[in-house]
Amino acid sequence: MNTTSDSLKNVFQARARLGESPFWHQQEQQLYWVDIYNHRVHQFNPVTGSHQFFDVGEVVGCIAPANDHRLIMAGRSRLAFLDTRNGTVTTILNIEFNDPSTRFNDGKCDAAGRFWFGSKCTKEANCSLYRYDPDGSLHVVLSGLTISNGPAWSPDESIFYLADSPLKTIYAFDFDKESGSLSNRRVFVDLTAELFYPDGLTVDRNGCIWSAMWDGYCIIRFDPSGKEMMRVKTPVIRPTSCTFGGEDLTTLYITTASVGVSEEEIQKSFYSGDLFSLATSTSGFPAHHFKG
């Protein structure tokens, strides 16, 4: 089943180079997302239309809510807190990468308040998935990745989902929510026959996965077994991620990118980089907070 782009609304003309990492802040009733290469963290109220952004001074791969008016963010090679009252960025820790092309990428917090984030690099199988715990400990959970994208959990937290975009694969793992460990890695969705790549993803209350397809002009919804249910066509070639938001969490917000889009594609994808919304018949979950 396909849904046409007429079902989508362009809700904010961000013109981002690389919009990513959207999350819905339930307490504030606001949407946050990043523009990775423009070094911006965006804050948007869809009811009032008010918007502001914070220039964090470096590449920012992902963000998640924390306490005390803060966000936790993964920059190029450091974790930091961003104070949303004044824009102050405070370093938590730095990580040295062997490959200078490596940087941090997509991430989220789990229900226990642990921050999960991955890295991306130009060399195949040279990146990792990390977990930063509220006690201040950092763990390499998974290695051998190329571009780690879209971490998410099933509604009962028993399954962890992760995409390695260049491999065109979304993986599923058994998740131990007490220890925060992964096991039993298997292929959840194999997209190697397609011309596009799975990017960021989210999970709805029915346990279905919504995945943005880079270079695919679409969002695909998969059922809990990995079977494709629906394609939502987008008017831009590079949707990057999605999350549920709004008062009842039934609106799917979609970030997009303009980076690397050819002049020919820009003519067809004029609104590349903007923020879109889609009214759905299901609902999602508010973002979990970092509890450190």
What average pLDDT is seen over the chain? 95
Output the pLDDT for position 249.
98
| Number of neighbouring beta carbons within 10 Å of residue 166 | 15
For residue 265, name the pLDDT band (cuts at 50, 70, 90). Answer: confident
pLDDT, tens digit (0-9, with 9 covering 90-100), for 205-250? 999 999 999 999 999 999 999 999 999 999 999 999 999 999 999 9
User: In the CATH hierarchy, which fold is given to the domain comprising 2-279?
Assistant: Neuraminidase (2.120.10)
Output the pLDDT for position 7.
78
Quick one: CA dihedral 188, 76, 111, 247, positive or negative?
A: negative
pLDDT over 90 percentage in the chain: 90
pLDDT, tens digit (0-9, with 9 covering 90-100), for 164-179? 999 999 999 999 999 9
Output the pLDDT for position 272.
96
Whole-number Å distance between alpha carbons of 211 and 9: 18
Q: Are 114 and 161 in contact (CB under 8 A)?
A: no
For residue 50, name the pLDDT band (cuts at 50, 70, 90). Answer: very high
Sketch the domain layout of the chain as residue ranges: 2-279
Q: Which of 106, 110, 199, 204 is catalytic?
A: 199
Whole-number Å distance between alpha carbons of 244 and 249: 5
Q: Answer yes or no: 274 catalytic.
A: no
